[in-house]
Chain A
């Protein structure tokens, strides 16, 4: 084969039990290539968040293997920190640091972790805020912003670490309907610029327009992986049909 894009996430047979014995992931596989946008869907409790969080070692797992950007996830703390520097994560609840200004939210990690000069990081942070459309809020505190603005700051905060992969866990689920679009627009632009993204989301329109592939999870397993066109118009599995009928 001629140069196919590099493999950014390679998860093989991942199994996870929570400490209480719950079998949350039952042997899941996923391959994500550079520049791909993979959207994970599935009913509540199917293990989407758990799976996503294994990619930056926020959750551990007991069987299988995950290689992220060439680094195999293991218990080695140094490798975990290395992976987290390469992988950005955006949460449903934004999780901005309320005691820091918007600008300081962005610059904290690059300055403290990557040890970059503060002035340079601030310039980059202002550019990023410009890109997500809230440069004029740089000196406000998170509590003074709307939900949509907060989520855009959270995205900019992750980007400021210059990650090679971005993970999104239901980034629009906590937003009022009128703010969903402004966040999706930012994500769409990010995808267009070639960012590798894994997105847990039930936004069908976004998945249709942006996703390279859609993954359906149920009961801790991957049920179906298909290009969005095929997934939404002609799902192969009974479980997928059932799920699509529920969300539409």
Chain B
């Protein structure tokens, strides 16, 4: 077939654009009208952003948006945590490049990485200045960005020299960091307690989202397995749970959770409004993750389980080593989609009175000094959420390609 197919001559991009936009007279008219509308909207936006918008509402409240009413004298703990996060991110990033999936070429700074690093540098230099932060704080951000890039470089350069035995411990760094982070944020182990009611802004949003994302996944997998279980009690329990949660709006569950979770969970787990909300988010997302994983399990051919069982693998091992790896690979895009939804759902927390990013925005705008500055604030929030979701999406796609280079085949028929 390849030999008979006509050679396609690749037109220059400009030519292609011309052909696509102005192929026929009607196409041309539509294109011109749309371009004009776009241009007008763009000009209007820039006029507003440059001359009318008053960004002081953000710079004046930058701490509030970042961490809420977290006590000033304890904020060094958050700086420490941010530095640790930057270190871990840089190291992981570098190690991923040091050990690319089989077949990929190892390069210290691939093109995409150079782009990412440049964006990081620009952001670190420009953003703190744009927010008119004090020089001391600007310097901290520069330091953190430098730390990240340095770790990235060191891990990429010296990662391959790490002995095999130590390498397997590296992924444990992240859960460990999560625990350290929780202690740093909430206190204990000799640190002053900072109650959750004083967490706010980006800190609260990110905390809620990561807590729910980390826990809803294992919970969702268990529910999906429960739904396929042969034990009727387990199966029906899972079905009822999943269908109930998926049939109820999140906001009703959040209000419900504030009232009943105190009785449902052991006292220490849901002591206050913030933690109750976190659990509701987790339980809510778990039902959707369960459905994604269930469709993944259904996509695994029946012969896989038979083969595993006939080799003498007991059911739990067959699930862990044969069924789930294949099912989760299929379920990955839908699951990450659910994580993205979850991140956006955290904004609902403002409706039950928590001061997440949106909650903070509402209190700021209630202040007479900043009355009517909705557009500025919500535009920035939208961009912030979009960035996080885009990063999640990119990460999931990178993971998918990495998994696919590991086994280039689709499951056999």
Residues in A lying within 8 Å of B, measured CB to CB: 56, 58, 81, 84-85, 87-89, 91, 93-101, 108-109, 112-113, 141-144, 150, 154, 157-158, 161
Judge whether A99 and B326 touch: CB under 8 Å: yes
B contact residues around A108 at 8 Å (CB): 311, 313, 321-322
- 17 A-B contacts (beta carbon < 8 Å): A56-B310, A84-B310, A84-B311, A93-B413, A95-B303, A95-B304, A96-B307, A99-B329, A108-B313, A109-B308, A109-B311, A112-B321, A113-B312, A113-B314, A143-B407, A150-B412, A161-B311
Task: Give B311's nearest chain A residue, CB to CB.
Answer: A109
CB 8 Å contact bits of B376-413 with A (1 = contact, 0 = none): 00000000000000000000000000000011111111
Size of the B side of the interface (Cβ < 8 Å), in residues, is 26
Judge whether A98 and B407 touch: CB under 8 Å: yes
**Contacts A98-B412, A99-B325: A88 and B407 contacting too (C-beta < 8 A)?**
no
B contact residues around A56 at 8 Å (CB): 310
Judge whether A84 and B409 touch: CB under 8 Å: no
Nearest-Cβ distance from residue B408 to partner chain A, whole angstroms: 7
Judge whether A99 and B307 touch: CB under 8 Å: no
B243 in the interface (beta carbon within 8 A): no
Judge whether A97 and B317 touch: CB under 8 Å: no
CB 8 Å contact bits of B292-308 with A (1 = contact, 0 = none): 00000000010110111
A113 to B307, alpha carbons, bound, how many Å? 14
A157 to B317, alpha carbons, bound, how many Å? 17
Judge whether B409 and A143 touch: CB under 8 Å: yes
Judge whether A58 and B411 touch: CB under 8 Å: no
Nearest-Cβ distance from residue A83 to partner chain B, whole angstroms: 9
A contact residues around B317 at 8 Å (CB): 112-113
A113 to B315, alpha carbons, bound, how many Å? 11
B contact residues around A89 at 8 Å (CB): 307, 310
Query: Which residues from 256 to 272 on chain B have a C-beta closer than 8 Å to any C-beta of chain A?
Result: none
A contact residues around B310 at 8 Å (CB): 56, 58, 84, 87-89, 158
Judge whether A95 and B306 touch: CB under 8 Å: yes
Task: Give A86's nearest chain B residue, CB to CB.
Answer: B312
Judge whether B407 and A99 touch: CB under 8 Å: yes
Interface centre among A94, A108, A150, A154 (most CB of B within 10 A): A108
Nearest-Cβ distance from residue B402 to partner chain A, whole angstroms: 13
A95 to B301, alpha carbons, bound, how many Å? 9
Judge whether A141 and B412 touch: CB under 8 Å: no
Nearest-Cβ distance from residue B104 to partner chain A, whole angstroms: 16
Judge whether B412 and A94 touch: CB under 8 Å: yes
Judge whether A109 and B313 touch: CB under 8 Å: yes
Judge whether A97 and B313 touch: CB under 8 Å: no
**Contacts A85-B312, A97-B322: A142 and B307 contacting too (C-beta < 8 A)?**
no
Judge whether A96 and B412 touch: CB under 8 Å: yes
**Contacts A81-B312, A91-B307, A113-B313: A98 and B321 contacting too (C-beta < 8 A)?**
no
B167 in the interface (beta carbon within 8 A): no
B contact residues around A98 at 8 Å (CB): 326, 407, 409-412
B contact residues around A100 at 8 Å (CB): 407
Nearest-Cβ distance from residue A158 to partner chain B, whole angstroms: 7
A101 to B409, alpha carbons, bound, how many Å? 11
A138 to B177, alpha carbons, bound, how many Å? 38
A157 to B310, alpha carbons, bound, how many Å? 11
Judge whether A161 and B409 touch: CB under 8 Å: no
A143 to B412, alpha carbons, bound, how many Å? 7
**Contacts A113-B312, A142-B412, A143-B410: A95 and B321 contacting too (C-beta < 8 A)?**
no
**Contacts A113-B317, A141-B409, A143-B408: A95 and B309 contacting too (C-beta < 8 A)?**
no
Nearest-Cβ distance from residue A202 to partner chain B, whole angstroms: 20
Judge whether B408 and A109 touch: CB under 8 Å: no
B contact residues around A99 at 8 Å (CB): 325-326, 329, 406-407
Pairs A-B, 7 closest by C-beta atoms: A143-B409, A95-B307, A109-B311, A95-B303, A89-B310, A85-B312, A84-B312
Task: Give A109's nearest chain B residue, CB to CB.
Answer: B311
**Contacts A85-B312, A99-B325, A113-B317: A142 and B306 contacting too (C-beta < 8 A)?**
no
Nearest-Cβ distance from residue B225 to partner chain A, whole angstroms: 18
Interface centre among B307, B311, B322, B325 (most CB of A within 10 A): B311
